[in-house]
Amino acid sequence: MDFNPSDEWKAYWRHKMFLQFRGYRLGIEYGKKYDEPILPDLPKQGRPPEVFVSGVKQTALPWVPIVNPIDMDMVATGRFLGPRNLKAFNAVKRLKGYFERKHPGMMYNRCLGWGSNGLAAAFDLKYPPGEKVVVKMVFSEKRNHRNTEVASLRALLKAEHIVQLLYGDNVDETTAIGAGEEPTPNFFITEMLENGDLGQFITLVRQHGERVPNAVLWRFCLCFIRMCIALAHPPSLLKDFKDRPAPISETVPEKYKHEPIPNVHFDFDPKNVFVGNISQKGEHDLTPLLKVIGLAGIST
């Protein structure tokens, strides 16, 4: 018998998923007493009504606050750090020590940033020389957040506008401790885009008093559209795309255009959009390629 959920059932689960991902973003656990009983309005399903809105003059501050004002690689001791920064400081030390002992072919380069739930660090590979990767470490010892993001990245392998997963094998923590080994940090490895994130790009543009040309903004918009297409039609889950070489430019497949996967990215933030390089031809001959990550905040 087919299951036809009621509107009340759908609303309940939409609110529950909102609270769960809001808690993930803030670094808190869902269901605690600080969850607010009054819920904000959520986006409604279906096609929006056609409305006309008059033009609005857009203004912006000449600068954007820096998310991580402390250079963690210049800090010698965590003695004077607050709780949030101390957590990141200890995680950096642990990550550096782990890779020095277990994976000497990867050399720590610098801390890229951190939040309530984890941090990202750049590592240099000895082979091939000159190549860099990003190690993303989750603070919590629970592996559900990490496993969720790794599973999402695996489903989106080959997608041109998604940061690509390089290593994300699950590690049995109990087995490692039982064998007398140190606990393995909760991490996975992705490709690195050298030009930083979109938040840093916006900051630099505003600091120099520049304006981004409309032609560049439209190209960026196309990158965002292709990110959304990748979420709705992950290439690795489509039979027609499985044998295609990477990277695959995201397009809506004709055969599945009425069967999108209803994924929602709850952490679509400039710091989760990374800036790649400019190519010699194609869509990115004028503007750099943009890629999104932060896929632990995805709900289906």
Does residue 132 have a known ligand-binding role? no
Measured in residues, the chain has a length of 300
Residue in this structure with the two tokens 């699950």, named with its chain if needed: 170
Residue 228: φ, ψ to 5°: -65, -40
Please return the burial class of 195, using the count of CB atoms within 10 Å of its CB with bins 0-12, 13-18 and 19+: middle
CA distance linking residue 174 with residue 171, whole number of Å: 9
Token pair for 174: 């109990």
**At CA 276, angle to CA 273 and CA 278, rounded to 5?**
140
Token pair for 26: 């803030």
Closest CA to 248 of 267, 266, 233, 269: 233
Closest CA to 162 of 64, 293, 16: 293
Q: Give the residue numbers of the binding site.
A: 136
Q: Give the residue numbers of the binding site for ATP.
A: 136
